[in-house]
Amino acid sequence: MPAKFSGGTAGLVLAARLTELSDVTVGVIEAGVLRLGDAVVDTPALMGQSLFNPDYDWNFTTIPQVHVSQRNIPINRGKMIGGSAGLNFMIWQRGSKQDYDAWRQLGIGNGWDWDGLLPYFLKTEAVHPGPGSAGVSGKFHGQSGPLPIHYDNFDTPLEGPYAQALESLGVYLNSDPEAGDSTGLFNSAASVDPATGNRSYSAVNYFLANQDRDNLVVLQGAQVTKINLTPGNPIVATGAEFVVDNITYSVNATKEIILSAGSIQTPQLLELSGIGNPNILKEFGIPVVYANPDVGENLQDHTHVTSQFELNDPTIPTINLLNVNTTFEAEEQALYHINHTGIYTYTISDVSFHALQTFWSPAELAQSLTTLRNEIQAANLSKWQRKQVQIQLTDLENASVGQMELLFFGSDITVTNSSKFVDILNFGSIQCTGRNISAEVPFILVHRVSDA
């Protein structure tokens, strides 16, 4: 029996696909629980309410960051069956062709490029057209996959003027960002099922759809703390230890172990199991089973800065109007539960990706590139990492892919007693490296993220 850790987005997809084979039995171990029928997860307009709530969110933080006044930056990760896809903002958007083809330039072959991955993108989704959506065609939009994808049926009166403002700055409208170029401004699809108005994600569309299979077992509320490894050549993963209600258990696999605990907790579990940088492992008394100093390094993620704006007209229907206008809230609840439409199905639709040249002057860009090159030159990078940063430098110089993402949100998740505020979220890319581990979470060591 293959054992699968954990029950997040990729893990449940793997479990569902593997158990299509009747002679394969898969056991999934997940620290979170199934949130079926939980409005905080299911209802699109309630996005953000689960963030920082320990029942839903692992709520990791970085160590103090030098460049942001020694603040600890939160890293939100979904703690539930379905993983972070039950926590995120449901934007359904693939990258540009050039992003995936860069993997091939790094020597990652066997179909890990745009042409090789596109059939699997299409196989995943069932795209339903909606107001303002691009023409949905079989070439770039899947029609029969397990995950329903939809376009907003509700916009606030603010999305239009916001889009016009970006156009006035020279940002072009992208009619189909799924076709291989995701730059410009577009109406984003969302992982929402139009049949229910609820979030679509792997817990519903991969696990629940297949939970009656005799060869699929999911254990929830169980946190894996270590992969059991048998030394030798090769080293063999034979099982794992996990904790339920402060009691440690062991499980063995008869065939193989699949570790898919996300970009933070996968390297974390490898280190706890003795695979990682020997200097880090020895510091915390972890026997080194396999020395690999690259474990936990080279994480690249996107963080954001939120700009909050106060509206002149507080009666404009934003999500927060639901909190202060009981008549409006009742009308929208009825629309949501009866027709599966209205403001409760709202997701972020005005999305744009920009090269830095869109907003930076040539002098600002040149100065930043010079600083970046000097930092790269001084860094102790491997040959592979230097090849990677050269691709990224070329992308920056050529303005060929998006380096900045802007999202318009017709609400403000930090204010609940007013309808007067909306947000614009500015996402940029950062590269993080781990330097040490700290036992800050019960039963698990956290590979802390240091300065980018």
The neighbouring-strand residues paired with 91 are 190
The whole-angstrom separation of Cα 58 and Cα 295 is 20
Mean pLDDT of 114-140: 84
Phi, psi of 438 (to 5 degrees): -135, 135
- pLDDT reported for residue 414: 66
pLDDT tens digit string along 288-325?
999 999 898 888 888 788 888 888 887 888 888 888 88
Following DSSP, what letter does each residue of 21-86 receive, concatenated?
STT--EEEE-SSB--TT-HHHH-GGGTTTTTT-TTTB--EEPSPBGGGTTBPPEE--B-BTTGGGG
The whole-angstrom separation of Cα 300 and Cα 244 is 32
| CATH of the structural domain 1-90+191-295+434-452, one choice from 3.40.50.920, 3.20.20.70, 3.40.50.12780, 3.50.50.60 | 3.50.50.60
Among positive and negative, which fits the CA dihedral 57, 63, 67, 70? Answer: positive
pLDDT tens digit string along 373-421?
998 889 888 888 889 999 999 999 999 899 899 999 888 766 555 656 7
Of 4, 186, 9, nearest in space to 88 by CA = 9
Q: How confident is the model at residue 194 (pLDDT cuts 50, 70, 90)?
A: very high
The amino acid at residue 421 is F
Q: How confident is the model at residue 444 (pLDDT cuts 50, 70, 90)?
A: very low
The whole-angstrom separation of Cα 405 and Cα 425 is 8
User: pLDDT at residue 439 above 50?
Assistant: no
- pLDDT reported for residue 450: 35
User: pLDDT at residue 147 above 60?
Assistant: yes
Structure tokens at 237: 């993963």
- Give the contacts of 7 (CB within 8 A, at least 6 positions apart): 15, 28, 29, 30, 32, 81, 82, 83, 203, 207, 218, 220
Mean pLDDT of 362-369: 93
- pLDDT reported for residue 417: 58
Say if residues 148 and 194 touch (Cβ distance below 8 Å): yes
- pLDDT reported for residue 146: 97
Number of Cβ within a 10 Å radius of residue 149: 25
Q: Where are the domains of the chain?
A: 1-90+191-295+434-452
User: pLDDT at residue 92 above 90?
Assistant: yes
Say if residues 344 and 40 touch (Cβ distance below 8 Å): no
- Give the contacts of 221 (CB within 8 A, at least 6 positions apart): 30, 31, 32, 33, 244
Mean pLDDT of 34-60: 95
- pLDDT reported for residue 265: 93
Mean pLDDT of 136-157: 88
Structure tokens at 436: 């040490």
Structure tokens at 40: 């905080």
The whole-angstrom separation of Cα 321 and Cα 316 is 8
- pLDDT reported for residue 433: 41
The whole-angstrom separation of Cα 257 and Cα 269 is 13
The whole-angstrom separation of Cα 49 and Cα 65 is 26
H-helix or E-strand spanning residue 193: strand 192-193
- pLDDT reported for residue 423: 79
Identify the burial level of 330 via C-beta atoms within 10 angstroms of its C-beta, where 0-12 means exposed, 13-18 middle and 19 or more buried: exposed
Q: How confident is the model at residue 448 (pLDDT cuts 50, 70, 90)?
A: very low
pLDDT tens digit string along 213-226?
999 999 999 999 99
